[in-house]
């Protein structure tokens, strides 16, 4: 509720509308006129006075309870609006962004390794150009490929190295798979296949 002004800048505090006040005042005036007119009659009937008063009080109560119902609906609307405006914020948004960043970096590594595997040795600058050219040819998109980060990750994994001339080359795909080892995804797939074969 401390952030209500920020989340809902258009909010207004609920209150009785001018029309509600008019209904109250008109009901009270009509009731008083009817009661005073009944009292001034020579034979004032108590049941008539009671009926008029109960009608006026009932109408005022109806107006008040209608207001209370509208106020409850308004508070529910504020709560729902705050909930809707806070969806995909906080942890959910950060986790989504982190997931996107991880996927982006994995794609950079895969493209770099693929280019070295398919086209052979390359300097860092040549590798950068080849990766950008591949993306342009396959997806029709121009980009500034971050080859430095991709090559560093490949070197840390031990599946890419440099020769004496400073050109990068990769190990074979089978050897790279042996070096990297079983991935978490492969472990999950094996567990699922095991569960399916042994029900």
Query: Which pLDDT tens digit goes with each residue over 62-114?
Result: 777 877 787 788 778 777 776 776 665 566 667 777 787 788 888 888 889 99
Q: Is the pLDDT assigned to residue 7 strictly greater than 60?
A: no
pTM attached to this predicted model: 0.47
Residue 193 lies in a domain: no
Residue 47 lies in a domain: yes
d(C-alpha 179, C-alpha 159), whole Å: 7
Element at 169 (helix H, strand E): strand 168-170
Domain count of the chain?
2
- The confidence score (pLDDT) of residue 180 equals 78
Instruction: Answer yes or no: are the C-beta atoms of 122 and 145 closer than 8 Å.
Output: no
What contacts 11, CB < 8 A, 6 or more positions away?
4, 5, 78
Identify whether residues 105 and 28 lie together within a single domain.
no
Identify whether residues 137 and 177 lie together within a single domain.
yes
Bridge partners for 160 per DSSP: 170
- The confidence score (pLDDT) of residue 74 equals 76
Length of the chain: 199
Identify whether residues 18 and 98 lie together within a single domain.
no
Identify whether residues 141 and 77 lie together within a single domain.
no
Structural domain of residue 120, as residue ranges? 93-182
Looking at 28, 52, 86, the residue that finishes a domain is 86
Identify whether residues 81 and 162 lie together within a single domain.
no
H runs (alpha helix) in the chain: 4-7, 18-40, 46-86, 91-119, 124-139, 147-157, 173-180, 184-197
Identify whether residues 98 and 77 lie together within a single domain.
no
Instruction: Specify the 3-state DSSP secondary structure of 22.
Output: helix
Residue 189 lies in a domain: no
Looking at 86, 115, 131, the residue that finishes a domain is 86
Name the residue among 60, 58, 62 with its Cα closest to residue 24: 60
CATH assignment at residue 118? 1.10.10.10
- The confidence score (pLDDT) of residue 120 equals 87
């Amino acid at each position: 509720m401390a952030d209500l002004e920020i989340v809902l800048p258009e909010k207004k505090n609920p209150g009785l509308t001018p029309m509600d006040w008019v209904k109250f005042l008109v009901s009270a005036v009509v009731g008083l006129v009817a009661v005073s007119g009944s009292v001034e009659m020579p034979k004032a009937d108590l049941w008539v006075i009671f009926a008029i008063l109960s009608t006026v009080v009932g109408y005022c109560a109806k107006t008040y309870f209608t207001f209370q119902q509208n106020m409850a609906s308004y508070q529910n609307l504020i709560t729902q609006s705050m909930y809707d405006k806070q969806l995909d914020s906080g942890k959910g948004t950060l986790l989504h962004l982190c997931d996107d960043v991880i996927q982006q970096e994995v794609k950079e590594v895969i493209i770099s390794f693929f280019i070295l595997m398919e086209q052979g040795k390359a300097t860092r600058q040549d590798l950068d150009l080849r990766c950008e050219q591949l993306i342009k040819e396959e997806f029709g998109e121009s980009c500034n490929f971050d080859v430095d980060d991709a090559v560093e990750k490949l070197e840390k994994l031990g599946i890419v190295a440099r020769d004496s001339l400073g050109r990068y080359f990769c190990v074979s795909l089978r050897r790279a798979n042996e070096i990297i080892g079983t991935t978490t995804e492969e472990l999950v797939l094996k567990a699922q296949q095991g569960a399916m074969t042994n029900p």
